[in-house]
Amino acid sequence: MVVRGAELSQVLQLRKKLSWRAVIGAIGRVAALGILLKWLCQVAQLRLRLWGPAGGPWPLPLIGTVGRLLKGGLGNMHKTSLQDVCLFGNMHAWAYFHKPMVNTNCPFHLRRMLVTHWKRYDRSDFEQAAFGELLGQGLILVGNDGWKDMRQLYQSGFNDRNILDFRKVLHTWSHDFVTSLLAAGKHGSQPVDIQEAVQKLTFRAIGLFTLGVDFESEPYLDDLQKTMGSTCSNYGELWFQLLEHTQLRVIFGPFRWWKVLKTASVRTFEKGHALLLRGIDRAIDGRAFALAADPTERKGAEPFHDLLSCMVGQKGKRFSREEIRHQALTFLFAGHDTTTNLIAWCLYLLVTHPVMLEQARATVRQGDMQFLRCCLLETLRMYPSVPLRSRTMSQADAFPAAEPARCPMLRTPGAVSLPSGTGVSFAINAVHRDPEHWPEPEVFKPSRFEAHVAKAPSALLTAPWASEEEPLKYLPFGAGPRRCIGERLALLEAEEICCAVLKRCKLQAAAGLPPVDEMQLTMRARDGIHLLLVEDLEVAG
């Protein structure tokens, strides 16, 4: 009887445990179902607001429409987005996992979002989550509330005089760069990956402009080799590896998987990021030491004021070391990979259009930069540096109905009201290839920008600004108050490097398949851009 009593007691305890497990399981299932239903209602509500002839793809439970976005692979998201514009129109609903999103590429809606009502459209919350560790709260990711004071502080570093002073250094480096290109290509007998070569130079340039240091100097290269080994040979290559990993964070951001899964990619990112922070700290300490010795000397040894002089010294007292790190990483990101892609794609487009290539070479040798500038602006139209962007609505807003004649691809009838918290994305590559605003959008036609370049100041080039009456159809550097602060620096750098190459080299495409554009946060060529370069002996002589 004692044994049976013990057995009965065990059975009762087991039933009690099972009943609790059943209750907990039931609660979990109800909660999950409630979350799922709430999400479906949000998406359906947004979908109904945008309902028209084609309101966008239906989302799947949990993953939304991310599967559709990734159907062509991570590197082809910009192409998939362009296809969706053709299928569903210039405005359609989609879902980033659980988050309802709207994609709009109507130039009149973009004007409202980026120019006239920009305060209602803050930085994207999932971009901040994915980029947060890499860039921190620098000028790109900081919210609209703290942005204005920060931008005003750096404005002096991006004034015309300072950028033109920096050009003197860049001119010398560009000449040395062409010499190294010719040597690497064995004077035309071996193809050179122009994208990889330019990547090294542009990181060196933005490092000098931002921090006043040369990342190709011995201390920095020694630290790179000790930390990263043979995985990368220069800081430009290291930065590309960091961006490649960050793209995975952007697309799978809600899961914060990198906090748990320490894959090889995550470990490489962490090592590389720590290496960059050490380099930034070395520059900060060096500038602080110089200031302690001579408080009146706030800039570095170069003939221009680097951006570190805006952060360290009298004006920089408000910044902690962590804040300086964030700003430095932001400028290294914004001023490096984007400029690399512009230069590489521009040279490739010229090589594939021999008549235009000869025109560009002839004009730059005469000191006339107008045609080259047109080529750079047209390159940015065809290959915008950052093809996909997004915002998160901090306040409710409504896109007014656009007349069909003004935005023919807008299939959504009437005004569209969107609640606070809605994500709004836009595909710059789709805007730049809209045949309603760009006839023959797939054709390389630098003449599109002749009128703008002809009236632009001779010293520094800027991208066209649309007037209030014009559609916002060209935005390689964004638009409105938060337009890229480094726009003129980027265009100057691209102009100087392309000019140096075109003056001294005869170029032609290497044998093989043409480069394929892919998105690694920025618009790159998947396997590089390989060119044959032969020194022009007439110019050399």
* Structure-model confidence comparison of residues 6 and 277, the more confident one: 277
**270/2 Cα distance (integer angstroms):** 62
Is 438 inside any structural domain?
A: no
Question: Residue 370 falls within a domain, yes or no?
Answer: yes
Q: Per-residue DSSP letters for 118-173?
A: GGGEEE-HHHHHHHHHHH-SSTTTS-HHHHHHHHHHHHGGGSHHHHHHHHHHHHHH
Does residue 163 surpass a pLDDT of 90? yes
Question: What pLDDT shows up at residue 531?
Answer: 94
- 353-357 average pLDDT score: 96
In a domain, 505, yes or no: yes
Residue 253 in any domain: the answer is yes
Q: Note the pLDDT tens digit of each residue in 86-139.
A: 888 788 888 888 778 888 888 888 999 999 999 999 988 778 877 888 888 888
Take residue 480 and report the two structure tokens written for it: 């409105």
Contacts of 57 (CB under 8 A, 6+ apart): 65, 68, 84, 88, 92, 94
Domain contains 29: no
Kindly state whether residue 105 falls inside one of the protein's structural domains.
Answer: no
What Å distances lie between residue 60 and 76, 93, 97, 249, 470, CA to CA? Answer: 21, 13, 9, 21, 38
Nearest to 473 by CA among 524, 425, 519, 429: 429
What distance in Å separates the CA atoms of residue 49 and residue 59, rounded to the nearest whole number?
A: 15
Helices (DSSP H) in 317-463: which residue ranges? 321-334, 337-351, 354-365, 370-382, 428-432, 450-455
Known binding residue 484? Answer is yes
Query: What is the rounded average pLDDT of the residues 391-400?
Result: 89
Q: Is the pLDDT of residue 2 over 60?
A: no
Of residues 313 and 263, more confidence is placed in: 263
Split at pLDDT 50, 70, 90, the class of 316 is very low
pLDDT at 410 over 70: no
DSSP character at residue 116: I
- Is residue 424 within 8 A of residue 121, CB to CB? The reply is yes
**What is the chain's length?**
541
Look up the pTM and report it: 0.89
| Number of compact structural domains in the chain | 1
Question: How confident is the model over 177-217, as pLDDT tens digits?
Answer: 999 999 988 877 899 999 999 999 999 999 999 999 999 99
Q: Which amino acid, one-letter code, is at 390?
A: S
* Residue 330: domain span: 117-390+444-535
CATH number, residue 217: 1.10.630.10
